[in-house]
Structure formats: structure tokens, C-alpha cells
Amino acid sequence: MVKKVTENVYLIEHEEAANNVIIIGKKGVVLVDTSLFPEKAKSIAKFVREFTMKNITLVFNTHYHPDHTFGNVVFDVPILAHELTRRKMEQFDSSYFRSLGIEYTEPKLPDVLFEDQFEYEDGLKILFVHGPGHTPDSSYVYIPSESVLITGDTVINDIHPEIVSDSNLNVWMKTLDTMPHAKHVIPGHGDFGSYESIEKMRDYIEKIRKLMNGELNPYELESDPNFINRKHAEMLEWGIKNLMTE
């Protein structure tokens, strides 16, 4: 389903799978994340051509996770990402694919890399900023003229966030605290929302942090709307396990 966020920003939503976002510039279109499936990425490229009469000229990966990067293979344009995203993707081997239940194909690695921030201009200014926490390489996109923030998995709406073994809750909190106060926030999964999405995520991560430190009784979460109103409760249990085996 395609949802208009602002004049130049559209969210391509697929239920609970990773979001794809298109930013329509003057000459071309920037695609944020490429999904797990090359076929899906191909259909996005086709949709963009028909809908905007422009081609995708830049692809950006918010982080290395397969549901954000495996569609890279269908694009013959520069792929931008944080330098750690490329380094993590270089480690993908056949056993990694097997663990995901997917047949091995050579992943397409990002070839334009940045460390702290990357600025791109095509009629509108787009900032790509390193914002670790969910993973060490996580980055977000900020478009000041549209007041839009595209967060990758640093912010998740509607479902429980993915806390993985290389997540760092303190660093994650710091990133949420320093993200720009945008009017529209497009998360890595779930529907787009307002700045409140970031506040809710901050509350969620802070409570998990307290839980891990023994400062919060797990029973308190059973009546917390920020927890019970999110789908896939099993993700919470999985996330806590990941933090304990870190």
C-alpha cells in the first residue's frame, strides 16, 4: 500500500515487513531500504517509474539487516550506507543465508559510504545521519524542507521492536534523544506517525533498560499500553533473550 506522507515523500508499506520510502527529487528518486525480496524491489522500481516518471537514482540502506538490504541486487545505481553497514554485509556467507531460510545469492554491497553524515541535494536537501543503537551501523534520513524523518528500525510503530544481539540500549536512547524534532516520522516497520512515535520508542527502550537493570518489575509491562498495544509479543521475549546473551 502506498501512502502519501508529504508532497515529495511516500511510504510503501507491506503489512509488518520493513518499510520502503521514496523521496522524489527534481531529477530522480531516492529509495530508502530495499526489502528482503529482489522481486519486491523490482516492483518498487517499476512503480516509481510509472508514478513519478523518474528513475531511482540513489538507494540508501538504513542498516545491514536482510529485510532492508537484500533487494539491493536489482539496482544499478549508487548504494549509500554507513561504512559499518558494508562491513557487516561483507560477512554474509552461505550459512547466514541458510539460517534465514533463503537460498544464497551474492549480496550487493553499498558503494558510497559515510561515517557521521552524508548530504545529498536534488531539488531538496536530504541528510543521512549515523544513529546507532538498534545496530552499530543504524542510520536515519532527515529531509528538513518536508520535516520528515525516516528512522529505520531505530523507531518501530504498532509492533514490538527488534532488539538484536548487537543492539545497545544506552546508545539507542542517545540516538532517539538527538534525532531532529520532525513533524512526520516514518519508522522501520509499521505505519508513519508524528514525533510522538519517537517519544513512545524512547519510553519503550527506557523501560527495557530498567527491566534489564532490575529497576522495573516485569508485571508492570503487562498493563502498559506502550507494550500491550504492540503486536508480536513474542518479539519482546526474543529481544530480552538477545540482550542476556550479549
Report the nearest approach of Zn ion to the CB of residue 27 (Å).
30
Nearer to Zn ion, 65 or 200 (CB): 65
Where do contacts with Zn ion occur on this chain (CB under 5 A)?
A: 65, 153
Report the nearest approach of Zn ion to the CB of residue 30 (Å).
20
Report the nearest approach of Zn ion to the CB of residue 54 (Å).
28
Nearer to Zn ion, 137 or 153 (CB): 153
Name which of 61, 69, 56, 63 is nearest 30 in CA terms: 56
Nearer to Zn ion, 29 or 185 (CB): 185
Nearer to Zn ion, 88 or 184 (CB): 88
Report the nearest approach of Zn ion to the CB of residue 33 (Å).
10
Name which of 162, 97, 167, 164 is nearest 132 in CA terms: 167
Task: Retrieve residue 135's grid coordinates.
Answer: 545496530
Nearer to Zn ion, 146 or 153 (CB): 153
Report the nearest approach of Zn ion to the CB of residue 123 (Å).
30
Report the nearest approach of Zn ion to the CB of residue 63 (Å).
6
* 129 Rama class: left (phi>0) / alpha (psi -120 to 50) / beta: beta
Nearer to Zn ion, 13 or 153 (CB): 153
Nearer to Zn ion, 65 or 86 (CB): 65
Report the nearest approach of Zn ion to the CB of residue 76 (Å).
25
